[in-house]
Structure 1
Amino acid sequence: MTEDVPSAMVGFMDSWQGLSGTWRLTLLVFGLLLVTALTAFVVSRVILWLERKFTDTNNLWDDAFLSAVRKPAIGLVWLVGVFWAAEAAYQYSKAEIFQANEHLLRLGFIWLLVWTLLGMIKQGEKLLCTPGKAPRTMDYTTVSAVSKLLRAVVIITAILIFMQSLGYSISGVLAFGGVGGIAIGFAAKDLLANFFGGLIVHLDRPFKVGDWIRSPDRNIEGTVEHIGWRMTTIRTFDKRPLYVPNAAFTTIAVENPSRMSNRRISETIGIRYCDSSQMAAVVSDIRTMLENHEAIDTRQTLIVNFLAFNASSLDIMVYVFTKTTEWVKFHEIKQDVLLRINEIVESHGAEFAFPTSTLHVPDGIELSGLGVEESKS
């Protein structure tokens, strides 16, 4: 069908006997390109109108489809128009360069299809990860992994179809890939280890983008910014980027503090030995204060007990969990708890202990300084 249009137009232009062949060809090509440009403009306007029309609908996938197909649709119009112009030029000139028109048209159709599919994958990824758009927002890490896999499948399939269209045997290419894969595997074993490490991270999901992670085995701590197929980017707390090969995550322990349910306050408070008579009342009041504190999770372990006779203090253990997991909010709560404990200790006339030493001197031994003072007196 695509060949009938230029043939009909050539037949129509041949009836213009008053013009030379060059002028007829020039007018024909100009007319085809002009019609192509006008058609592309109309198609673009129609799709934009449809996008505005479907914006108010509850189904968001039609918006994603129209957004992904708009540019490829314009490209399709130009592809067909340029093909018709090239076919018309070939029928006039019989130049060898125009013999590749059929192959270029076929490759162009494949390229436009790939462009459309990649656009749909991109729009779907954006739709599923944007809060408020999709009915159920999915995890960005999972959606990103699936979209990368789909892109890889589309691109590899397109390359194989391209090669088949150019006359290369796909079976031969696949056979070469099977034999060469062994050599490539040995040469790129580290790259493959990182790839499968990234695959394991995407499947097991020990962390996701935005999580704060740390490794007790390595000096790794920060916020995950990107999980790629070869490496993971972590932003440390001093704002430096840290690039970790994915293979490392298969051999190290990873801690994910972002998934903690509570934060812990664990403090040891010491009062003086001379305040031992106030110990029971101080412990009781601290426990009551924590049980009634609005920011303390009383469903978790709550311990306030006289802990030990230390060298210079009587120690009290305070062990509780906050409801919040936010780092800044946690420290505000911890400050408030410690200030209230300070008030309780002072309200009982007790004081906090600090390291002291008591020197016992046997009777009959006179200190030189003391003797001097006595002699002066």
Structure 2
Amino acid sequence: MNELLQILQKSDYLKNLDNSVLFITLASLITWGVWRFVYSRLLNLSERTAFHWDDLLLHALKTPISTLIWCWPATISLGLILEDQIKAEFNWLTTLKHLMLITIFVWIFIRLINEVEQQFLRDKKRDETTVQAIAKVARLCFVVIGLLSFMQAFGLSLSGLLTFGGVGGLIVGLAAKDLLSNFFGGMMIYFDRPFKVGEWIRSPDREIEGTVERIGGRMTIIRTFDKRPLYIPNSVFSNIVVENPSRMLNRRIYETIGLRYQDSDKIPNIIDQIKLMLENHPEIDAHQTMIVNFSSFGPSSLDFFIYTFTKTVNWIRYHEIKQDVLLQVINIIKENDADIAFPTRTLFVEPNSQADIANQPPEQQQ
């Protein structure tokens, strides 16, 4: 009889346990449905506003909140089942719940940072390299906060961890100084912004020239104009001069042209016409320095120079404009019945010397 009562009691307990688990699961399903309904309503409202931050926040909350709605009740159900089977208390389930909350918290903020980063990159109103750098630092901060919270949840002392981290950081810094110098060199590139992804840079100190493809935590990748990749440690950029032609305001045309000595009387007219042509050229920036002047007496030419700036900074377009300017200069020179000089040498023979040679015997003339 006692055995029968025990069996009935156990059967009732199992039924209650099953009912509790089933109730928790149904409650999770209902809560998830309510959350999906509320999320869709909030999303519709946020899409009607011109303010984008509410959209980003909702997108960041969607998956983590759904995960929490299912995982938190599942942890409670797991605790009930284990307590029934093993007849013991499971304190680690409480720790697991704390870890779950920390994970959800960090997950939400990382998703929010990613959404904000993508929004800024889509708008193209801010520097891409700076946006990526700030996003990386923010993600790293929340990951570190999450790890410290994990350790505290396991009962470790944060003060002890920080003390150990200070000593360990000194040891690691001495052992991996090159790695750290590259990391901080990358941070300086991000915040000083001497260049960014997509820009053309070169260094007169090193054989470095090309387009920046990626600025990483340890090295920067530059694609040269012959399509070779250069992998340069970030610490190098703190010790060299970097030139950034992509940020030029104008490109300069600086050419020296020589005329024949017999065209000396035509130089003033040629210079005036060339200067007028440059002032009226649609692709020449007349607000910048413009000089066209006779400069020197060359060995076989009278030299003048052209010093002016184009409006464009595009490399291909610049050479097209420069070609057009030089062709017009040639036409102006031709229109003035002058010509461009080339290296020549004139030999003068004294007449007396010619007579002496003519009076010499034939065998000596040879």
Give TM class, smaller chain.
0.7 to 0.9
| Alignment-derived partner of residue 244 in structure 1 | 232
Q: Is residue 90–residue 99 contact of structure 1 (8 Å, CA) maintained in 2?
A: no
Where does structure 1 lack aligned partners over 5 or more consecutive residues? Answer: 1-15, 372-377
The amino acid that maps onto 2:47 is T
How far residue 267 of structure 1 moved from its aligned partner, in angstroms, is 0.6
Q: Is the 8 A contact 2:220 2:234 kept in 1?
A: yes
Corresponding residue for residue 283 of structure 1: 271
Q: CA deviation at 1:233?
A: 2.4
CA offsets per residue over residues 74-132 of structure 1, 9 Å max, x none? 11111212112212213422366955221111101100000001111111122223227
**SS of 2:123 mapped into structure 1:** coil
1:1-377 equivalent positions in 2, closer than 5 A: 25=17, 29=21, 32-33=24-25, 35-37=27-29, 39-40=31-32, 42-44=34-36, 46-94=38-86, 99-131=91-123, 137-363=125-351, 364=354
Cα deviation code 1:186-209 (max 9, x no counterpart)? 101111111222222233222223
Larger mean Cα displacement after TM superposition, 202-211 or 246-255: 202-211
Deviations 1:34-88 (A, max 9, x none): 5535643553454244324312211110011001111111111112121122122
Q: 1:195 to 1:358 in 2, by over 3 A?
A: same
Q: Deviations over 1:20-41 (max 9, x none)?
A: 7667655654564455356435
Task: Give yes or no for contact 2:212–2:222 (8 Å, CA) kept in 1.
Answer: yes
1:346: Cα distance to partner?
A: 1.1
Offset, 1:324: 1.7
CA contact (8 A) 2:83 2:89 kept: no
Q: Is the 8 A contact 1:214 1:255 kept in 2?
A: yes
CA contact (8 A) 1:86 1:98 kept: no
Deviation at 1:181, TM superposition (A): 1.8
Counterpart residue identity of residue 180, structure 1 = G
TM-score by length of 1: 0.84
CA distance in 1, matches of 2:258, 2:106: 71
Counterpart amino acid of residue 331 in structure 1: H
How far the C-alpha of 1:142 sits from its partner, in A, is 2.0
TM-score (norm 2): 0.86
Report the Cα distance in structure 1 between the residues aligned to 2:295 and 2:302, rounded to whole angstroms: 8
Task: Work out the CA distance in 1 between the residues paired with 2:73 and 2:249.
Answer: 62
- Do 2:202 and 2:208's aligned partners in 1 also have CA atoms closer than 8 Å? yes
SS of 1:243's equivalent in the other structure is: strand
Q: Residue 130 of structure 1: SS of its match in structure 2?
A: helix
Q: In structure 2, do the counterparts of structure 1 residues 305 and 122 end up closer, same or farther at CA, with 3 Å as the change threshold?
A: same
Deviation at 1:355, TM superposition (A): 2.2
Deviation at 1:299, TM superposition (A): 1.7
Q: 1:96 to 1:320 in 2, by over 3 A?
A: farther
Superposed CA RMSD in Å reads 2.7
- On the 8 A contact 1:76/1:112 being kept in 2, the answer is yes
Q: Equivalents in 2 of 1:17, 1:345: separation in Å?
A: 115
**In structure 1, what is the equivalent of residue 5 of structure 2?**
none
Residue 266 of structure 1 aligns to a residue whose secondary structure is strand
SS at match of 2:143: helix
Q: Deviations over 1:198-236 (max 9, x none)?
A: 222233222223322211111112222332332222222
Deviates more, 1:228-237 or 1:277-286: 228-237
Whole-angstrom distance in 1 between the partners of 2:59 and 2:307: 56
Distance across 1 between alignment mates of 2:87 and 2:104? 27
Structure 1 CA distance for aligned equivalents of residues 226 and 23 of structure 2: 63
Tell me if the contact between 2:83 and 2:90 (Cα under 8 Å) persists in the aligned partners: no
Residue by residue over 1:131-164, the C-alpha shift from the partner in whole angstroms, topping out at 9 and shown as x without a partner, is: 27xxxx2222222222222111111111011011
Give CA deviations for 1:248-270 in whole Å, capped at 9, x if unaligned: 11111111212222110001112
- Aligned residue for 1:214, secondary structure, equals strand
